[in-house]
Amino acid sequence: MRQRVLDHTTSASKQRRERRRRPTFAELVATLNQQLRGIPHLERIDRMVEAAGIPATSTTVVLGSAFLAFVLALLAAATTGSGTFIFLFFMIGLIGPLLVVSRLGSRRVTAVETQLPDVLATIASSLRVGHGLKQALQTVASEGTPPISVELRRVLAESRLGRPLEEALIAMCERLGSDDLLYIATAVDVQSQVGGSLAGVFETVATTVRERQQHRRRVRAVTSTGRATATVMAIMPFIFLVLMLIVAPNYVTPFLSSHVGHLLMLASVVSISIGAFILNRIVSVKS
C-alpha cells in the first residue's frame, strides 16, 4: 500500500514537472508553423525557402525578418529619431531577408538548370544500356555535383519511403519551379500514363533544354546594354549623394536633417525603384 502511494506521488510530481517544462524554441516554431500553414503568402515563402535549399522553415524566416526589422527600427530611433528613417529601416529589415532568400533560390535554380542538359543526357545513356530509372538517378546522385545531386538524393529518399519515383521526380520539378524542369515533369507524367521509351523522352528533353538555354543566353547578350543602363541609373543618385557628403557635407546636411528633405528622399527612392522596374521589364524577353 505504501509502495503504491509512493508510486502515485512520484508519477504526479513527474507530470507536474512536465507541465512546468517550458517548450523549446524549435517546438514553438514548429507549433507556429503548423498553425500558420495554409496562408497563401506563407506558402510562397515556403517555396522560396525550398528552392534556396536552406535549413529553415518559412516561419523561421518570417520571425527572423520581424526581429531584424525591430532591431533596425530601434537603432534608427536611437541614432536619428526621424520617423521617416525609422520606417525606412523597418521596411529594410522586414523585406531584406526575404529578398536574400529569393536571390539564393534563383541562383540555386539557375545552377540546377545549368547542370540539367548533361544530367538528362547521362540518365538517357544509363537507360539505353538497360539500367532502370532509379539506378540511373542513383548514379547521378552519387557522382554528380550539388545542387542537382542533393535534389536527386532527396527524390531517392522519398522513393525509399514509399512514394512513387515518378511522383517524387515531378515534385522536385515543381518545388524548384523552373520552366526547364517543368518540361521534365510533363514528359515523365505523360510517359508514365501512355508508356514508350523513357530514354528517348530524356534525350528529347535534354535537346530541348539545351536549345532553350542557348536561346536564353543570346537574349541576355542582346539585352545586356539595357540592363546595365537600368542598374547604373538606379545606383547613380546614391553614389552622387555619398560623393556630396564627402566633398561638401554642409551642402547636403540641411537636406538630410529636414522633414521636407526626408519626404523628398522617400519620393526619390520610390521613383527610382519604379523607373528601374520599368526598364527591367522593357529589356526582359520571354525565352
Q: Which residue type is seen at 41?
A: H
CA–centroid distance for 181 within its chain: 16
Cβ proximity of 73 and 93 under 8 Å: yes
Among 19-33, 100-114, 148-162, 168-182, the least confident range: 19-33
Domain termination site, one of 75, 107, 139: 107
Task: Dump pLDDT digits (tens) for 200-248.
Answer: 888 888 888 888 888 888 888 888 887 888 888 888 888 888 888 788 8
Judge residue 115's burial from the number of C-beta atoms within 10 Å of its C-beta, 0-12 exposed, 13-18 middle, 19 or more buried.
middle
What is the C-alpha separation between 90 and 72, in angstroms, rounded? 6
- 14, part of any domain: no
Cβ proximity of 166 and 188 under 8 Å: yes
Give the sign of the dihedral formed by CA 212, CA 218, CA 220, CA 226: negative
Query: Collapsing DSSP states into helix, strand and coil, what is residue 55?
Result: coil
Residue 3 has pLDDT above 50, yes or no: no
Residue 177 has pLDDT above 50, yes or no: yes
Among 26-30, 60-64, 171-175, the least confident range: 26-30
Q: What's the number of CA atoms in the CB half-sphere (13 Å) around residue 240?
A: 7
Q: Is the pTM higher than 0.85? A: no
What is the C-alpha separation between 146 and 127, in angstroms, rounded? 22
Among 36-45, 96-105, 180-189, the least confident range: 36-45
- 22, part of any domain: no
99 and 149 both lie in a single domain: no
Domain termination site, one of 80, 107, 134: 107
Residue 70 has pLDDT above 90, yes or no: yes
pLDDT on residue 130: 82
Residue 199 has pLDDT above 90, yes or no: no
- 1, part of any domain: no
Q: What cell does 278 get?
A: 520599368
Residue 6 has pLDDT above 50, yes or no: no
User: Could you give the C-alpha distances from 97 to 37, 77, 122, 239, 246, in angstroms and in order?
Assistant: 20, 21, 37, 24, 30
- 174, part of any domain: yes
pLDDT on residue 13: 55
Cβ proximity of 119 and 205 under 8 Å: no
- 6, part of any domain: no
pLDDT on residue 228: 84
CATH number of the domain residue 126 falls in:
1.20.81.30
116 and 216 both lie in a single domain: yes
Task: Dump pLDDT digits (tens) for 92-133.
Answer: 888 889 889 988 988 998 888 888 888 888 888 888 888 888
153 and 123 both lie in a single domain: yes
Domain termination site, one of 62, 80, 107: 107
210 and 135 both lie in a single domain: yes
Among 38-42, 186-190, 227-231, the least confident range: 38-42
Cβ proximity of 184 and 173 under 8 Å: yes
Q: What is the DSSP string of 224-270?
A: HHHHHHHHHHHHHHHHHHHHHHHH-HHHHHHHHHSHHHHHHHHHHHH
Query: Collapsing DSSP states into helix, strand and coil, what is residue 258?
Result: coil
* Residue whose cell numbers read 529589415: 93
Cβ proximity of 185 and 170 under 8 Å: yes
Q: How many CB atoms are closer than 10 A to CB 166?
A: 18
- 145, part of any domain: yes
Considering the chain, what is the average pLDDT of its residues?
Answer: 79
Residue 31 has pLDDT above 70, yes or no: no
68-72, 198-202, 220-224, 265-269 — which one is most confidently predicted on average?
68-72
Q: What cell does 31 get?
A: 507549433
pLDDT on residue 71: 92
180 and 96 both lie in a single domain: no
Cβ proximity of 137 and 123 under 8 Å: yes
134 and 190 both lie in a single domain: yes
Number of domains the chain is built from: 3
Q: What is the average pLDDT across 54-79? A: 86
Q: Which residue type is seen at 283?
A: V
Residue 60: pLDDT band by 50, 70, 90 thresholds? confident
Over its C-alpha atoms, the chain yields an Rg (Å, rounded) of 27
Residue 41: pLDDT band by 50, 70, 90 thresholds? low
Residue 28 has pLDDT above 60, yes or no: no
Cβ proximity of 209 and 120 under 8 Å: yes
What is the span of the domain harbouring residue 259?
223-283
